A and B are shown apart, each in its own frame.
Chain A
Amino acid sequence: MSVTRPEPSKLYHRKMPATWWLTKPSYFLFMLRELSSVFIAIFLIVYLCQIYQLTQGLDAYIAFARKLSSPGWVFFHLVALLFALYHSVTWFQSSAVVLQLRIGERLIPRPFVMALHVGAWAVVSLSVLILFLALKG
């Protein structure tokens, strides 16, 4: 796949201070959204570490889960959850802009596409919860 783009040497790049994202609330929110991916990734790595404990036996797995009940870890998961929710909402918002859903000729309004996403999110989350409860043993 080839993409046409200007020669980098012919582009003018204005020097930006490293703290440009602190100059406007909207820039700061943009940075928070980008940062959400870091917390989501850390959470998933910790989860993988917990799953790995199963190879060391059930006791190791349960001990790991118990370790996660410490205030520090609960705080981490609280922060991670807030970032994850922020990612979900901003992702659905941008999807509602990108997805041009139509019924016949008529474009489905953005708030409705957003509502569809949130509804699907609720159904998916509930399904994961039910499956987890059914399979956890």
Chain B
Amino acid sequence: MSTEKTSEPFWWGLFSAGGVVAAFLVPIHIILVGFAVPLGWITDSGALYGAWWVKLYLFVLIVLPLYHWAHRFYFTLNDIGLKPISKLLAVLCYGGAIVGTIVTAWVLLQV
């Protein structure tokens, strides 16, 4: 047995928080953004995106599930035989989530 420092608890924490956000919040947003607005059930003038607390909410809604995705997708790719390149996969998955975080923050600050 060896004792090594690992960043896994940190990523697992983000994975877990993202799982909670995705489970409770994503379905209703898919219904609103994917069906209700495009199909004209309700109209949307985009006015709601101006409020700072809405932006903060959207930041949490979009960013945390990205870390959830990174964690699950990383392990899924390892599980289907890509373990030999797991270092690269870690960079792509977790790096992708970090890039997503920065882009999301940038977009929400622009709006």
Number of interface residues of B (CB under 8 A): 59
Nearest-neighbor residue (CB-CB) of A50 within chain B: B33
What A residues does B79 contact at CB under 8 A? 16, 20-21
- A40 near B69 (CB under 8 angstroms)? yes
Interface of B is mostly: helix
Q: Tell me, yes or no, whether A103 is within 8 Å of chain B by CB.
A: no
Q: Tell me, yes or no, whether A66 is within 8 Å of chain B by CB.
A: yes
CB < 8 Å neighbour of A74 from B6, B34, B66: B34
Q: Tell me, yes or no, whether B20 is within 8 Å of chain A by CB.
A: yes
Interface residues on A, range: 35 or more
Interface residues of B in 28-80 (CB under 8 A from A): 28-35, 37-40, 42-49, 51, 54, 58, 61-62, 65-66, 68-69, 72-73, 75-76, 79-80
The answer for the CA separation of A52 and B62 in the assembled complex, in Å, is 13
**Contact of A5 with B1 at beta-carbon distance under 8 Å, contacts A34-B72, A128-B28 already known:** yes
The answer for the CA separation of A80 and B34 in the assembled complex, in Å, is 9
**Contact of A136 with B48 at beta-carbon distance under 8 Å, contacts A41-B65, A65-B37, A77-B30 already known:** yes
CB < 8 Å neighbour of A81 from B31, B51, B69: B31
Task: Name the distance in Å between A34's Cβ and chain B's nearest Cβ.
Answer: 4
Q: Tell me, yes or no, whether A107 is within 8 Å of chain B by CB.
A: no
- A37 near B4 (CB under 8 angstroms)? no
Interface residues of B in 53-110 (CB under 8 A from A): 54, 58, 61-62, 65-66, 68-69, 72-73, 75-76, 79-81, 100, 103-104, 107-108, 110
The answer for the CA separation of A43 and B40 in the assembled complex, in Å, is 19
- Some 6 contacts from A to B, beta carbons below 8 A apart, are A16-B79, A37-B69, A40-B69, A69-B39, A136-B47, A137-B46
Give residues in B with beta carbon < 8 Å to A. 1-6, 8-9, 19-20, 22-35, 37-40, 42-49, 51, 54, 58, 61-62, 65-66, 68-69, 72-73, 75-76, 79-81, 100, 103-104, 107-108, 110-111
